[in-house]
Amino acid sequence: MDIDQNRFHDYYSLDEIDENFNAVFLFEVIEHLNLREGINLIKRIHSLLLPKGKLFLTTPNLYHPHRYWDCQHKTPYRYDELGGFLLALGFSIKNIYRIYNDAFFRRIFRIYFAAYLHRYLSIDFALSIFIVAKRDFN
């Protein structure tokens, strides 16, 4: 990862960290890494969490019509794939949420009237996916 060396940070590399944490927040990061880097990052986070420690992770929703398509994004994740990915790396999934906020009338229209069309077209207007995962005892 490209950490800004001009700013003060507690750590400039995951390899420097020699303590364990109850929680790690990884917001809008994993999609900027290739798959191998993402796997290594999640493995390292797993090793840094205390037993029962939680990982809070967000990533753009691949099913949103244009949310993922940023030129800096390398790896898209669907929520079912990301959940399976975390399970395979030793986490249990506590919750998976879709982050959706919109103007009241547009939200009502999308939820109650356009939902069938959106489902048919595999469109989801939730901007991001939010996952809460817990490190098991291993």
Q: What is the pLDDT of residues 35-66, one digit of tens each?
A: 999 999 999 999 999 999 999 999 998 877 77
Is residue 60 situated within a structural domain? Answer: yes
Is residue 27 situated within a structural domain? Answer: yes
- Residue with tokens 């950490």, as numbered in its chain: 3
Alpha-carbon distance of 7 to 52, in angstroms, equals 32
Is residue 26 situated within a structural domain? Answer: yes
CA-based nearest residue to 63, from 46, 47, 80: 80
pLDDT value for 62: 82
According to DSSP, the β-strands at 49-60 and 21-27 are parallel
Alpha-carbon distance of 105 to 98, in angstroms, equals 19
Is residue 125 situated within a structural domain? Answer: yes
Q: What is the mean pLDDT of the chain?
A: 88
Is residue 8 situated within a structural domain? Answer: no
The Cα angle at residue 87 between residues 84 and 90, in degrees rounded to 5: 155
Specify the number of domains making up the chain. Answer: 1
Domain that holds residue 128: 20-135
Is residue 15 situated within a structural domain? Answer: no
pLDDT exceeds cutoff 80 at 5: no
Alpha-carbon distance of 99 to 130, in angstroms, equals 7
Is residue 53 situated within a structural domain? Answer: yes
Percent of the chain beyond pLDDT 90? 49
Length of the chain: 138
CATH number of the domain at 99, please. Answer: 3.40.50.150
- Residue with tokens 């030129």, as numbered in its chain: 71
Is residue 14 situated within a structural domain? Answer: no
